[in-house]
Amino acid sequence: MAGVPPFPARALVTLENWQDPPFNRWAFQHLRELIPTARISRGAGPARRLPRAERDLSGITFRSGSRELTVGEMLAESYTDGFLVLHRGRIVTEQYFNGMSPDTPHLLMSVSKSVVSTVAGILAGQGRLEPAAPAERIVPELAGTSFAGATVQDLLDMRAGTHFDETYDNPQADVRTYERVYLWRPDSAEPRPADALAYYATLRNDGPHGGPFEYRSILTDVLGWVLERAGGSRLHDLIARLIWQPMGAEFDAEITLDAHGNAMADGGVCATLRDLGRFGLLFPGTGRRMSRWSVVPAPWVADTIAGAADGPEAFTAGGTGRLHPPGAHYRNCWWVTEPAQSFFYAAGINGQNVYVHAPSQVVVAKLSTWPSALHPVSSVTTDAVRAIVAALRNGGG
């Protein structure tokens, strides 16, 4: 791709530089060689078949801001590693770049949050988790911490009041200490908690629980602890048993761990492109004809799309709503930008996405290695997906 540097030799990639360009181009596909991971087993069952109905989508044109682009141009300029479009369960396009292949696990970053929240939805459907319950009722160790009084739903919706500075370019931000705890960066002489569970207790509140939406990844990590207690298993086993195996994954996935084996729930999952597409397929099919792949409870999907009664107001109050259409909200670790259209997506920094357009049963998965955590091509990708949905609904492409 023009302007995209090649991924470097392995000898150049270190724990200190793996998130930076151009080293991330190699590291996001080889995370297990840098950080401890736990296997998310696909089990011994058959993989869900994805029939092929391939079309060339590269020439679809769309407008993004003042620019007119094609899908092919969007892929070329957005540091794409993998791109998959599914329509009614069939592969319309599947493309790999930057040395990635169908069996390569790629870091999902915060798309991991949507995977973890799906565990919550399944446990809730089984009657093993009550989203309205205080988190400390399930994990008593949270009593006396900043999370006391927060509900499970507050964690799912990023509306707990715990302060957590996630400014990626600030070396003094909370996220930098958190990355050392989770073994994502080299340790230093500066004191830190021994593991993630001890780290949670060091955080303080800067607002009420149930207040405005503020994006704080640490809330999903606490949610992971809650799910382990509610589900009676470690998080990677819950993902395997409740999602990866029932959905018919083709390959094992993995999740990074801290020094005491606590999974990074908010961003540590690595998975292949097709399995990420299979994960997205769990949502358009729910509420329609039931099949062996119906995994996520229909009420959970409906709740995600509808959101809380004050969800849009909380979204706007946190400042994020100004960047999205009216009525947009964040629910159950999904960005619901167009609830009336049942269009929602999972997003991770450096360009990881799963888009779901439920009415047309279109799922788009994109894995990338942007040179920075946040990048202007984010909105361009979303605009491209809207154009793809329109083309497939109209029988074009």
Per-residue b/e over 238-266, b at no fewer than 16 CB within 10 Å?
bbbbbbbbbbbbbbbbbbbbbeeebbbbb
Q: In sequence order, what are the residues at sequence separation of 6 or more whose Cβ sits closer than 8 angstroms to the Cβ of residue 81?
A: 25, 28, 29, 96, 97, 98, 100, 106, 367, 368, 369
The CA distance from 10 to 26, in Å, is 8
Residue 16: CB atoms within 10 A of its CB come to 10
- Among positive and negative, which fits the CA dihedral 154, 297, 91, 360? negative
Which tokens belong to 351?
Answer: 């360009």
Note if 110 is an active site residue: yes
The CA distance from 376 to 368, in Å, is 13
Residue linked to tokens 């997906």:
385
Which tokens belong to 269?
Answer: 């999952």
Burial (Cβ within 10 Å: 0-12, 13-18, ≥19) of residue 300: buried
The CA distance from 156 to 142, in Å, is 16
In this structure, the dihedral spanned by the alpha carbons of residues 305, 311, 313 and 317, taken in order and rounded to 10 degrees, is -110
The CB-side HSE value for 232 (13 A sphere, CA atoms) comes to 2
- Cβ(344)–Cβ(305) under 8 Å? yes
Given 64, 78, 110, 342, which residue is catalytic?
A: 110
- Cβ(331)–Cβ(303) under 8 Å? yes
Q: Which of the residues are catalytic?
A: 110
